[in-house]
Structure 1
């Protein structure tokens, strides 16, 4: 899962990363742009799998079914 923090004072948002990376970027932003204000805002999560499809194994099942149908229709 990836995290991104939004600044509570302006429109800044951190890059997607681990929770600790996102929090560190937000703290650094507050330190340089909003000194004296405690970091706030909201946290956004991205639960999609960055290395694969968000549909899981559904495409693989569809391809398997198509192969079975084609194989059944080609029998002599």
Structure 2
């Protein structure tokens, strides 16, 4: 039986989780930001419901700054 097109996309997306793609993309963005605006701080905002994003931010050297909302900030 063939899966619906949307189901194929969902399976593909889950298959790439944990592969380090978010971290690599974030590293590239941070390099570009540093080149373009070297004197500006970078703030990362994650949704509290997304449990993986804070791990990525921590691995990139960011530290949690509680803002008391449904989102977390990392600086």
Q: Does TM, normalized by the shorter one, top 0.5? A: no
Q: TM-score, normalised by structure 1?
A: 0.29
Higher relative contact order (CA 8 A, sep 6+): 1
Q: Which has the higher helix share?
A: 2
Find the structure with the greater CA-based Rg. 1
For normalisation by structure 2, the TM-score amounts to: 0.29
